[in-house]
Amino acid sequence: MNAKFSIPQVAPIPRRLRRVRPRATRVPLPLPADALAVASYNVHKCVGLDMRRSPERTARVIAELDADIVALQEADRRFGDRAGLLDLEAVHSMSGLAPVPLSLGGRAHGWHGNLLLARNAEVEAVRPLQLPGLEPRGALVVDLRHRGRPLRVIAAHLGLLRRSRLAQSRALVAALESEDDGRSTLLMGDLNEWRLTRRSSLAPLAPRKGPATAPVASFPAHFPVLALDRIMASPCTEILRVEPHDSPLARVASDHLPVKAWLRLPAAAVA
């Protein structure tokens, strides 16, 4: 199913009505009992807007999410031994989330800073994916089962340059096509793209995802205006709701707010 990126056109409110017209509030629909909660969070190497590195504070924000699957970016140091920066025992104690197993050696928690946490899930396979571009970038491709339903999760952090992001999007599409076995697929991460037009570097992914959901602003954390963090799903997966996790702690713990979504996986999906 092809999905096109577009920006809705809204007529401006007359100046004389701006102060008297009440703002409409949308009451979210109740979520079904089988909804799967997932989230993506760029933890900024556990350094908050107060310039203080606090893995414990980052763990508390992750626990606030109350999600079953969480994709983290910048969970490791970028240079040197690329050591992991989180207190994984504290994360597990607070949230019940555990990292998917990686056998890459070294002191890093993830792959190019990408780390996937999960609970109530059976991990079947984990594959690191090298992404092209000027900066060293990568993605994690994880096959798992949640409540018996198969799911493929791709956790990624795309580059700062549009040309690199475009090449990385095409590399993700190629990986999806080579491993397409009908499994529901979820792409989460800091994709560093705010455009919703044809110039979006995520355009190659459009035919691979379901109906577009409105991106939510997540950056910068203290006054979010850009939708850099995305959660995208294959057409057979229904995205019920997407929203930023905007709490007082999340506003200072990183330069990004986490983004959370609730999904409904196909009841009869077959891997």
- Measured CA to CA in angstroms, residue 197 lies from 159, 171, 193, 194, 214 at distances of 19, 20, 11, 9, 13
- As a whole number of Å, the end-to-end CA separation of the chain is 20
94-103, 175-184, 250-259: least confident range: 175-184
What's the whole-model pTM score?
0.85
Distance, CA of 191 to CA of 230 (rounded, Å):
7
Spell out the CATH class of 35-264. Answer: alpha beta
Residue 98: what pLDDT? 96
CA distance 82 to 90: 20
For residues 47-61, give the mean pLDDT.
97
pLDDT computed for residue 183 by the predictor: 84
| Residue 115 to residue 108: CA distance in whole angstroms | 10
Q: What is the pLDDT of residues 115-157, one digit of tens each?
A: 999 999 999 999 999 999 988 899 999 999 988 899 999 999 9
Which token pair is 127? 């594959």
Under the banding of pLDDT at 50, 70 and 90, the label for residue 207 is: low
Q: Tell me: pLDDT of 236 over 90.
A: no
| Mean pLDDT computed over 214-233 | 93
Residues 6+ apart with CB under 8 A from 166: 201, 204
